[in-house]
């Protein structure tokens, strides 16, 4: 019976038809992006230990699609600045950030990366946001892995609403009209 | 050879050049003239078997003359005794003879003193900054350098700014007051 239907010119492929979802391109792209955020682990101090804990079995960052820690900036989507950024390190962090391909995001993990933390000192950059744009700040010294995961989920929420394709389309239309 | 015998040996060898000897809880220190500083250290190494330089550091007595002071912490593996040698360094001179030819470990220690305090070491094989970068214009451990830092910029290498201290630095003062009173909090610095 089923075979008869599928072979008839009037029939439709139930398997394929049932699996087609109608959506906007932006939503589809954002859905893919937010569920495969590969981190660039910028581990500079003790926060990096919590970052490692977040990656290990108990907290398992893989549940959010971020298990592929890339030590190459060219393959990563989100830079997790975890630790104290000294002035000596600052421009190296910036350089690695510049090497990351768009679209890219940044999480400032912990007090030091967000604001210099307890290091009110001549040697420490008072917040990585002085050099690179930060999407999510996570408080704590160091933050627990749950806090990092919460930060990651906030970032996913943020990515969900990004109208990148709509923007591109608008820009293209303006270009054509001009 | 016990530590007090070491002090006597140095005294008899260098005579009037030994300005002061200090003993505090079994720690022996000699303060000597800056001119004989290296000779004393060499003598300690060659004749008194102080084969290990534990540490080397500098002090800034800001407002006094001479302003700086070098401190050498020696240890002997054969006699198992500690010994400390100090000598003043004037700000005008700002120069000390290197001891990296006596103890190789002094190389990096002297680089740190140069980096943080700005003292130069005559005859040092590789006198570069060790913590800050080449071109950083200040010496951060000097007393007249603010904890918050000063602005500097070396394009494409590094830059620094001033940290907001927000009333700080937050420091404890030694006292027998309660823990609440001793809590680090904002204090005016004279």
CB contact at 8 A, B131 and B115 = yes
B99 burial (CB, 10 Å; 0-12 / 13-18 / 19+) is buried
What mean pLDDT is predicted for residues A82-96? 93
Whether B168 has a pLDDT exceeding 70, the answer reads no
By mean pLDDT, which of A77-86, A104-113, B95-104, B155-164 is the weakest? B155-164
What DSSP character marks residue A86?
B
Cβ B132–A88 below 8 Å, yes or no? yes
Give the pLDDT band of residue B52 (cuts 50, 70, 90).
very high
* pLDDT one-digit tens code per residue, B105-127: 999 999 999 999 999 999 999 99
Q: Is the CB of residue B75 less than 8 Å away from at least one CB of chain A?
A: no
* pLDDT one-digit tens code per residue, B86-105: 999 999 888 999 999 999 99
Nearest-by-CA chain B residue for A131: B159
Helix or strand run (H / E) with residue A170:
helix A164-177
Region at B26 (left for phi over 0; alpha for psi -120 to 50; beta for the rest)? left
List the single best residue of A120, A123, A126, A129 to mutate versus B (max B Cβ within 10 A): A120
* pLDDT one-digit tens code per residue, A69-78: 988 999 999 9
Whether A11 has a pLDDT exceeding 70, the answer reads no
Q: What is the mean pLDDT of chain B?
A: 88
Whether B85 has a pLDDT exceeding 90, the answer reads yes
Within 8 A of A125 by CB-CB distance, chain B residues are 161
Restricting to A residues 133-162, those with a Cβ less than 8 Å away from any Cβ of B are none
Q: Is the CB of residue B161 less than 8 Å away from at least one CB of chain A?
A: yes
Residues in CB range of B155: below 8 A, 6 or more apart: none
Q: Is the CB of residue A118 less than 8 Å away from at least one CB of chain B?
A: no
- Specify the higher pLDDT residue, A124 or B157: A124
Cβ B161–A119 below 8 Å, yes or no? no
Residues in CB range of A65: below 8 A, 6 or more apart: A34, A35, A36, A37
Give the per-residue pLDDT at B190: 46
Q: Is the CB of residue A58 less than 8 Å away from at least one CB of chain B?
A: no
What DSSP character marks residue B73?
E
- Indicate the pTM of the whole model: 0.79
Nearest-by-CA chain A residue for B167: A120
Whether A159 has a pLDDT exceeding 70, the answer reads yes
Cβ B163–A126 below 8 Å, yes or no? yes
Closest CB to A87 among B146, B148, B160: B160
Give the pLDDT band of residue A12 (cuts 50, 70, 90).
low
Whether A157 has a pLDDT exceeding 60, the answer reads yes
| Count, residues in chain A | 178
Lookup: tokens for B147:
């904890």
Closest CB to B147 among A88, A91, A122: A122
What mean pLDDT is predicted for residues A36-58? 93
Give the pLDDT band of residue B161 (cuts 50, 70, 90).
confident
Whether A58 has a pLDDT exceeding 90, the answer reads yes
Whether A3 has a pLDDT exceeding 60, the answer reads no
Cβ B149–A126 below 8 Å, yes or no? no
Give the per-residue pLDDT at B187: 55
List the single best residue of B131, B161, B167 to mutate versus A (max A Cβ within 10 A): B161
What is the Cα–Cα distance from A170 to A125, expressed in whole angstroms? 38
Cβ A120–B132 below 8 Å, yes or no? no
Within 8 A of B156 by CB-CB distance, chain A residues are 91
Give the per-residue pLDDT at B114: 94
What is the Cα–Cα distance from A78 to A101, expressed in whole angstroms? 10
Percent share of chain A, pLDDT over 70: 90
Give the per-residue pLDDT at A10: 60
CB contact at 8 A, B106 and B58 = no
Give the pLDDT band of residue A104 (cuts 50, 70, 90).
very high
* pLDDT one-digit tens code per residue, B6-47: 888 999 999 889 999 999 998 999 999 999 999 999 999 999
List the single best residue of B149, B156, B167 to mutate versus A (max A Cβ within 10 A): B149
Residues in CB range of B58: below 8 A, 6 or more apart: B68, B69, B70, B71, B89, B113, B116, B117, B119
Whether B173 has a pLDDT exceeding 80, the answer reads no
Give the pLDDT band of residue B5 (cuts 50, 70, 90).
confident
Within 8 A of B140 by CB-CB distance, chain A residues are 122-123
Give the per-residue pLDDT at B169: 67
Give the per-residue pLDDT at A13: 65
Within 8 A of A93 by CB-CB distance, chain B residues are none
* pLDDT one-digit tens code per residue, A139-153: 999 999 999 999 999
Percent share of chain A, pLDDT over 90: 65
Closest CB to A122 among B157, B160, B166: B160
Whether B162 has a pLDDT exceeding 90, the answer reads no
Size of interface A-B (CB pairs under 8 A): 48
Within 8 A of B159 by CB-CB distance, chain A residues are 87, 90-91
């Amino acid at each position: 019976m089923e075979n008869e239907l599928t072979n008839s010119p009037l029939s439709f492929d139930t398997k394929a038809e049932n699996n087609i979802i109608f959506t906007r391109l932006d939503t589809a792209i954002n859905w893919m992006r937010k569920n495969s955020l590969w981190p660039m682990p910028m581990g500079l101090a003790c926060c990096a230990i919590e970052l490692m804990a977040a990656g290990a079995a108990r907290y398992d960052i893989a549940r959010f699609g971020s298990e592929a820690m890339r030590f190459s900036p060219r393959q990563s989507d989100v830079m997790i600045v975890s630790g104290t950024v000294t002035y000596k390190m600052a421009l190296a962090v910036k350089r690695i950030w510049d090497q990351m391909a768009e679209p890219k995001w940044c999480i400032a993990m912990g007090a030091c990366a967000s604001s210099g933390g307890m290091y009110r000192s001549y040697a420490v950059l008072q917040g990585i946001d002085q050099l690179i744009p930060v999407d999510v700040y996570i408080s704590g010294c160091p933050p627990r892995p749950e806090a990092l995961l919460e930060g990651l989920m906030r970032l996913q929420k943020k990515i969900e609403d990004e109208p990148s394709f709509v923007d591109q389309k608008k820009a293209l239309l303006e270009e054509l009209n001009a | 050879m016990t530590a007090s015998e070491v002090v006597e040996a140095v005294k008899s060898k260098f005579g009037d050049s030994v300005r002061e000897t200090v003993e505090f809880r079994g720690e022996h220190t000699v303060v000597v003239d800056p001119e004989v500083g290296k000779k004393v250290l060499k003598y300690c190494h060659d004749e008194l078997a102080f084969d290990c330089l534990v540490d080397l550091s500098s002090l800034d007595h800001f407002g006094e003359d001479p302003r700086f002071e070098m401190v050498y912490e020696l240890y002997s593996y054969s006699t198992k005794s500690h010994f400390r040698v100090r000598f003043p360094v004037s700000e005008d001179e700002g120069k000390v003879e290197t001891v990296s030819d006596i103890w190789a470990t002094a190389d990096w220690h002297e680089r740190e003193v140069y980096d943080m305090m700005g003292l130069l070491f005559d005859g040092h094989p590789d006198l570069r900054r060790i913590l800050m970068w080449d071109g950083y214009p200040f010496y951060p451990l000097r007393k007249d350098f603010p904890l918050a830092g000063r602005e500097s910029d070396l394009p494409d290498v590094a830059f620094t700014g001033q940290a907001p201290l927000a009333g700080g630095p937050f420091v404890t003062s030694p006292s027998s007051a309660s823990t609440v009173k001793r809590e680090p909090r904002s204090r005016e610095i004279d």
